[in-house]
Amino acid sequence: MAQYYSRRNLNFLLYEVFNATELTHYPYYNAHDRETFDMTIDAVTQIGDTIMFPHFRDLDRNQPELKNGKVTVHPKVGEYLKAMGDAGLIGTGFSFEDGGQQLPEIVNSILGFILMAANNGMMYTGLTSGAARLIASFASEELKQTYVEKMLGGKWQGTMALTEPQAGSSLSDITTSATPQADGSYRIKGQKVFISAGDHDQCENIIHLMLARIDGAPKGTKGISLFIVPKYRLDGTENDVTSTGIYHKLGQRGVPAMHLTMGDRDDCHGWLVGEPHRGLNYMFQMMNEARIGVGMTGVAIASAAYGASLQYAKERPQSRRLNEKSALDSPQIPIIQHPDVKRMLLLQKAIVEGSLSLLMETARCADIAHASEDPEEKEKYHLMLELLTPVAKTYPTEMGLVAVSNGLQVLGGYGFTEDFPLEQLYRDIRITPIYEGTTGIQSQDLLGRKMTMKGGKPAQYLFGEVAKTIAEAETHENLKPYAQKLKAELARLQEVTMALMPYAMQGDIERFLMDATLYMEMFGISTVAWQWLKQAVVAQRTIVTQNPDGEELAFYEGKIHTMKFFFHYEVPKTLGLAVRLKDNEVLTIATEKEVIL
């Protein structure tokens, strides 16, 4: 069985690079230690190994079906939900008070990584957790008591019902209506599309966290409220939520994406979460977690692809070394020994392990921002979280797609067939740069909001942390050249940022954000370069101080080698990006004479 994730790498990042056990010094996390972290990771891995990974292909080939208004999904989904609920693994990041385990997000997020690497077609529990967290955070005590326990127990499915046919990224155009009723509920009427896990037969109820407009609400995003809209009411009667369509998707086929209609019989009831007109505010407060989760899904799929292609490359004999092509009497060699194949494998490793490090860095910021009682420390890590979140969502998904493509390429023609998992992983990962905010939206958020907020304070904090890593690397002779490269990279990124800022100050937002996606690409490469240098510092220090041998020495040397690969193969791409971003030639903004495409 191919390894869908590396426990050794995970332990390295969790305990050696990020020292996750230090978080237990904060009172909020002091019930935990390495033993509880490892026990939870072991439990999730057991579910991944026994229930999820063996049925990865089966869920893809036996897709959800909508017949006579009922949605059926693979029966293994029910087994998975029960296993996760019984083990208390759906709400691991929730507080003890809300029925969770109060684990740090850096641990909680990697549980999602393991599950999605095993089988991203079973993304049901992540959706439930996100919906339940909205209820736990913002709903009345009565609603919390009614819904959260059964959702975290795996009995009730949760969804996030935002998108409408005319309102995708533009949520200000939502038209689903909510009419107040005498009993305190609201009559809901409208349509929602692309609702993942929006209906299925492997749970007792579906709980939609739905955005809608109360009658008479202000236009735009300021008039949007959040409601709990269950499939079945508490008395067991249907709530006039109809599954009117199911989307046939390119990938992630184990989870139904539904078209829902509410109020066909004018009998769909919803219950307000929090205050009227604050629905989008509530949603956005939960977006950091959701976007880290999507980033984790991207790197998880890439991790599974890397494991499969690495195994194939070790086992597949083909041709001879380039310097020995004419020696036909010599045996063929495993393709892992060919430089181009090794390049593709190293690229996958660099993307997967660099992305995972970035995501764990971001999750650690969330943990400190949440748990710290020091106002200055709290602000610092909150602002770093705000800045890193769009990058942590985008780089692992965009580059994860590149990694999976390279994994498929390693297999050659076999990668294009259903006999190997790469073609499915390639289909599965394609959605990740789209949902929870497309790459374009994330890029505009990074450059247009996060780099300018609070006078650039988030960037100052981040660059200060990068400078610390550079200083540490400079104490190791073999890492000095890479410390200098990262220092130059940081200066280049700051130069580009300063070149763009005048457009924002002049109010020319279209010009300012015209190439925001390219800015995101540059920022992502620079940030992951930082993560790789940080890993290399730990690896080099361990080699010097602990003198490891055998597989352990190979592991640490592999970290340093992959860091060098990233700096020599990926970092140079920012040179061209910088040239483009500073170029005054405007080619994508509308002019009087439109270019006919």
User: What's the pTM value of the predicted model, to 2 decimals?
Assistant: 0.96
pLDDT at residue 591, rounded to an integer: 65
Tell whether the torsion through CA atoms of 420, 425, 426 and 428 is positive or negative. Answer: positive
The predicted structure's pLDDT at residue 595: 62
Q: What is the pLDDT of residue 596?
A: 64
pLDDT tens, residue by residue, 6-62:
999 999 999 999 999 999 999 999 999 999 999 999 999 999 999 999 999 999 999
436 is catalytic: yes
Domain boundaries, the chain: 451-585
pLDDT digits (tens, 9 = 90+) for 200-234: 999 999 999 999 999 999 999 999 999 999 999 99
Asked whether residue 194 carries a pLDDT value surpassing 90, the answer given is yes
Closest CA to 119 of 187, 163, 57: 57
Name the active-site residue from 398, 436, 472, 521.
436
pLDDT digits (tens, 9 = 90+) for 142-163: 999 999 999 999 999 999 999 9
Q: Please list, in sequence order, all residues whose beta carbon lies within 8 angstroms of the beta carbon of residue 100, skipping any fewer than 6 positions away.
A: 88, 91, 92, 93, 94, 152
Confidence of residue 593 (pLDDT cuts 50, 70, 90): low
Between 573-582 and 516-546, two packed helices, what is the crossing angle to 10 degrees?
Answer: 150
List the single range of 124-133, 477-486, 549-558, 584-593 with lowest mean pLDDT: 584-593
Whether the per-residue pLDDT at 104 is higher than 90: the answer is yes
The 10s digit of each residue's pLDDT in 231-260 is 999 999 999 999 999 999 999 999 999 999
Q: For the chain, what percentages of helix, strand and coil (3-state, to nearest 5) are there?
A: 60, 10, 30
Residue 561 burial (10 A CB sphere; 0-12, 13-18, 19+): middle
